[in-house]
Amino acid sequence: MRTAVRRVDPLRPDVRAIEEAAALLAQGAVVAFPTETVYGLGASIYSPDGLKEIFRAKGRPSDNPLIVHVNDMAQLDLVAVAGDVERSLMKKFWPGPLTLILKRRKYGDQVGISDLVTGGLDTVAVRMPSHRVARELIRALGAPIAAPSANTSGRPSPTTAAHVLQDLKGRIPMVIDGGETTFGVESTVLDTTERPFRILRPGAITPEDLREAIGEVILDAGGPVESRPRSPGMKYRHYAPRQPLALFYDPQIGVYACRHLMAKGKRVGVIAPSEHRAYFPHEAMVIDIGGLDDQFSIAHNLFSSLRHMDERGVDMILAELYPPTGLFYAVNNRLRKAAGYLVLSSTAECDAL
């Protein structure tokens, strides 16, 4: 299959490109498109063929449900039931990178949305994106769009159309290229079906933002042994570059690990904040991911840094973890998953690499 790339101005997308993409969706095909978080791989929620195609193109396990992207509150009400607190969150954070897990809407015996979208759960994930291209696409289709991130399952999420092509070229008919996404990490997934609400995936809306809006919100530390994952997506390896990745909090441990690996003849890549890059040996491939006082840049550059390391052909990647505040919750979460939870905290652990 040939993958067409349609470049558009993200602020004033060309109507013809949008209509061409919407026509593909209406025919049961998939299209990759930019959102304010990462690129999504969309299908109409009313097209079983399109929904199946998402799982095929990504190699995604079929029990991992999709996020429904809506353009207005009427579309929300078609698929989900929302109470007052949920609506107050929508009012505050929509359009924007907050995904709410809500009860699925039922019409008599019928549910308002396919099991292909929800993985057969009695809940559904919904968000209203703020990106102009995403909104125009939903409007042109006239139906909500189900969309996971537009990467091969398990790989870092795409923040440019080039990333989408790295993974899905030849597997999808079209990508709308609207340039780099804004946040670079995915939406925050908030489960509203139990009190207090629980963050299932930290993301572009911070825990602090949510607590300020509604008070108590649970954020699990997250770890390798989540016996009964609350979100199907929690149980899969995610965001991973091709080479092994190990993490550290203390830059001195990172430097030690780097020297140790280089002494063994390994080519080492390091992802570190601007303040710490000079600590690392010159021979290491160091990516400066941004200043510690600039969480936004660090989040924005995260997935592209992981993909960049793939291209540079290093044998092992070392990456720094950040103090748990704001967007750094999302950054640390993605890094931990990408590393399979390998965090170096002593020189002995580095020696064992």
Residues of this chain that bind ligand TXA (CB under 6 A)? 35, 37-38, 40, 64-67, 97, 99, 101, 118, 121, 123-125, 147-149, 186-187, 189, 200-201, 231-233
Using Cβ positions, the residue closest to ligand TXA within the complex turns out to be 233
List the single partner that 189 binds among ligand TXA, Mg ion, none, CB under 5 to 8 Å by kind: ligand TXA
Which lies closer to ligand TXA via its Cβ, residue 121 or residue 292?
121
Which lies closer to Mg ion via its Cβ, residue 53 or residue 273?
53
Q: Which region among 50-58, 86-94, 148-156, 195-203 touches Mg ion (by CB under 5 A)?
A: 148-156
Which lies closer to Mg ion via its Cβ, residue 158 or residue 251?
158
Using Cβ positions, the residue closest to Mg ion within the complex turns out to be 149
Which lies closer to ligand TXA via its Cβ, residue 220 or residue 283?
220
In the complex, minimum distance from the CB of residue 39 to ligand TXA, in angstroms, rounded to a whole number: 7
List the single partner that 232 binds among Mg ion, ligand TXA, none, CB under 5 to 8 Å by kind: ligand TXA
In the complex, minimum distance from the CB of residue 337 to ligand TXA, in angstroms, rounded to a whole number: 10
Which lies closer to ligand TXA via its Cβ, residue 199 or residue 268?
199
Residue 252 zone, left/alpha/beta (φ > 0; ψ -120 to 50; rest):
alpha
Beta-carbon count within 10 A of 92 CB: 15
Q: Is residue 149 close enough to count as binding Mg ion by CB under 5 A? A: yes
In the complex, minimum distance from the CB of residue 157 to Mg ion, in angstroms, rounded to a whole number: 5
First-residue to last-residue Cα distance in the chain: 42
List the single partner that 121 binds among ligand TXA, Mg ion, none, CB under 5 to 8 Å by kind: ligand TXA
In the complex, minimum distance from the CB of residue 175 to ligand TXA, in angstroms, rounded to a whole number: 13
Residues 6 or more apart whose Cβ sits within 8 Å of residue 347: 253, 256
Residues 6 or more apart whose Cβ sits within 8 Å of residue 56: none
Closest to 193 measured CA to CA, from 101, 112, 117, 118: 101
Q: Pairing state of beta strands 31-33 and 40-44?
A: antiparallel
Counts of helices then strands in the chain (DSSP H, E):
12, 19
CA–CA dist 8, 20 (Å, integer): 12
Distance of CA 248 to the CA centre of its chain: 22
Which lies closer to ligand TXA via its Cβ, residue 120 or residue 281?
120
Q: Is residue 231 close enough to count as binding Mg ion by CB under 5 A? A: no
Distance of CA 308 to the CA centre of its chain: 17
List the single partner that 123 binds among ligand TXA, Mg ion, none, CB under 5 to 8 Å by kind: ligand TXA
Rg over alpha carbons for the chain, rounded to the nearest Å, is 20
Distance of CA 91 to the CA centre of its chain: 23
Q: How far is CA 317 from CA 3, 255, 305, in A?
A: 31, 12, 10
Contacts to Mg ion by CB under 5 A: 149
